[in-house]
Amino acid sequence: MIKAIIFDLDDTLISEREYIDSGYKHIASLLNAQGIGERDDLYHMLSNLFEESPINVFNRLFESLNISYTTSDIRNLVNEYRNHFPTINFFDDVIPCLNELKKRAFKLGIITDGYAITQKTKLRSLAASTYFNEIVITDELGREYWKPHQKPFEIIRERLQVEYKEMIYIGDNPEKDFYISNIYPIQTIRIDRQGVYKNRTYMNGIREHYAIKDLDSFLMLLDSWN
């Protein structure tokens, strides 16, 4: 019997692109306050540069504006981006799903990678602790324990007091979200949000047990098991 539903965060419960947009708006406002360009123009430039390539966006912005910069300038912008308090929301199907799962007495959790300060501000912005029994930010354990490492799954299993076979993990990233089923008997589900990780390669060819388009489909899948 399934007792716990564990979720990834980025591009599973929230849009990673929405977070990126929030960060770029923050950076655009910051640069505008420093007398560098108009806020909307800077935001659109950052977005377009990201679409071309997500690598060294801030460096390329300064180069596009013919502005000289130092490593320290870039580091400061990166820190501002990672530390900003984001304007983000859960996908529309998330809260109804979580409320339904809580009615059915499932234990709910999150396992999320990413820089700890960034993930913490995302979770605070979402008031995530209102909905979830346990949240594991893997970066707080150490970068070596980011998924697909099994340690965060071991921690959340212990905190929720369930067995691995009683857990479902829902994620989106083929590169790291589903390999856990090769280590422990956790049911894995891939949700297709058409996010930034959609074209990643499955780690060692380990695929999800089930694939869904949204969390309404997940509830239907749960019903079919009962």
Find the domain containing 100 and state its range: 4-14+90-225
> Could you tell me if 151 and 221 lie in one domain?
yes
Other beta carbons less than 10 A from residue 80's beta carbon: 16
> Could you tell me if 95 and 29 lie in one domain?
no
Number of domains into which the chain is organized = 2
> Could you tell me if 94 and 62 lie in one domain?
no
- Angle CA(43)–CA(75)–CA(138) in degrees, nearest 5? 95
> Could you tell me if 114 and 218 lie in one domain?
yes
Secondary structure (3-state) at 80: helix
5: pLDDT strictly greater than 80: yes
Query: Of all residues in the chain, what percent carry a pLDDT higher than 90?
Result: 95
Phi and psi torsions of 94, nearest 5°: -75, -55
Give the C-alpha separation, 194 to 15, whole Å: 9
* Average pLDDT of the segment spanning 160-174: 97
> Could you tell me if 37 and 146 lie in one domain?
no
- The single-letter DSSP state of residue 99 is H
190: pLDDT strictly greater than 90: yes
> Could you tell me if 74 and 109 lie in one domain?
no
Q: pLDDT (tens digit, 9 = 90+) per residue, 9-57?
A: 999 999 999 999 999 999 999 999 999 999 999 999 999 999 999 999 9
224: pLDDT strictly greater than 90: no
Q: Rounded mean pLDDT of the chain?
A: 96
> Could you tell me if 9 and 26 lie in one domain?
no
Give the C-alpha separation, 2 to 164, whole Å: 9
> Could you tell me if 146 and 118 lie in one domain?
yes
> Could you tell me if 67 and 123 lie in one domain?
no
Q: pLDDT (tens digit, 9 = 90+) per residue, 64-117?
A: 999 999 999 999 999 999 999 999 999 999 999 999 999 999 999 999 999 999
- CATH classification at residue 205: 3.40.50.1000
User: Measured between alpha carbons, how far is residue 47 from residues 10, 50, 80, 203, 220 in Å?
Assistant: 18, 5, 17, 29, 37
- Residue finishing a domain among 33, 53, 83: 83
> Could you tell me if 43 and 152 lie in one domain?
no
> Could you tell me if 73 and 157 lie in one domain?
no
pLDDT category, 197, cuts 50, 70, 90? Answer: confident
Question: What token pair was written down for 21?
Answer: 């947009």
> Could you tell me if 146 and 110 lie in one domain?
yes
* pLDDT value for 223: 85
Give the C-alpha separation, 15 to 90, whole Å: 8
What is the pTM (predicted TM-score) of this model? 0.94
Q: Are 35 and 42 in contact (CB under 8 A)?
A: no
60: pLDDT strictly greater than 80: yes
- Residue finishing a domain among 50, 83, 116: 83
Q: Is 12 left (phi over 0), alpha (psi -120 to 50) or beta?
A: alpha
- Residue finishing a domain among 83, 114, 131: 83
